[in-house]
Amino acid sequence: MKIGNLEITEKAALAPLAGVADRAFRELCRSYGAAYTVGEMASAKGISLGDKKSAELLYITETERPSGAQIFGNSPETMAIAAEKALEFSPDFIDINMGCPAPKVASSGGGALLMKNPELAASIVKEVVKASTVPVTVKMRSGWDDNNINAVELAKMCEQAGAAAITVHGRTKVQMYAPPVNKSIIKAVKEAVSIPVIGNGDVVDGKSAAKMLEETDCDMVMVGRGALGRPWVFAEINAYLDHEVVLPEPPVSQKMLVMLKHIEKICQYKGEYVGLREARKHAAWYTKGLHGAANYRARIGLISSMEELQSIAAELIEQNS
């Protein structure tokens, strides 16, 4: 599959998960075969005003490529400026967020709120495409609510404005993440445009990825929550799609090794103080479903050193062996 002139060889990409898909997690998912990664969404307004925290979200390393920078906002001019600044970090593509349901993002006029104003959304795509030297993609939802399902209309407008690919999360903004994903809307978008369409929502393993591809005819899938504490999900998906092989769940010892490697990377990139605090949510995801994990959650929520985390990991391995 090609996104503009960018060749993509695998079938499952990592979603731009805010607060999760940082450099450490993107690198880890790529090592397990993620087709590409997308950075955490960055505020176009913040980037244009020189905000350091917004700019840091655009940083990309060679080991996570192909990788895109995701920006959000509601001003075509500001989004174009943000795209130009994002290019300084050499992304393989720039992704425009039209799907984030978070009140903070939507209330600022960006994210999923753009689906309520297709003309503005299309003009944003047009200006970003003009400003960018790399392909521009769009991530959207099926619509705002059940009475406003307009992904097909918006996808066509984005394509006409120059978008090189579209990711569709098959739920409305109002639905957030609760009901089963609506695959029919993803299929309808695929039938309506000639650019690649990536299906997003409820993809958690090889079989669900195959089902998404089969039922929507989409070109690829995107994995978000299905990768939390399970970066190896991309290896599982690739094995199933390529060879119809269902890989066994990694043993607990392997899961804990991956967890520790992940947290060490976060600490390496962000410093131990920040890294260990961010590690708490990741550790909770890695230990989900393990025997005795519930008893360790309180301890995980208070970890302040790698030694404490290593001790918890060792105890969980022993308890689950």
Return the active site residues.
100
Residue 82 to residue 46: CA distance in whole angstroms:
8
Select from 217, 238, 208 the least CA-distant residue to 13. 238
User: Per-residue DSSP letters for 282-311?
Assistant: HHHHHHTTSTTHHHHHHHHTT--SHHHHHH
Three-state secondary structure readout of 77-122: HHHHHHHHHHHHHCCCEEEEEECCCCHHHHCCCCHHHHHHCHHHHH
Residue 139 to residue 165: CA distance in whole angstroms:
9
Residue 189 to residue 154: CA distance in whole angstroms:
9
**How many residues comprise the chain?**
321
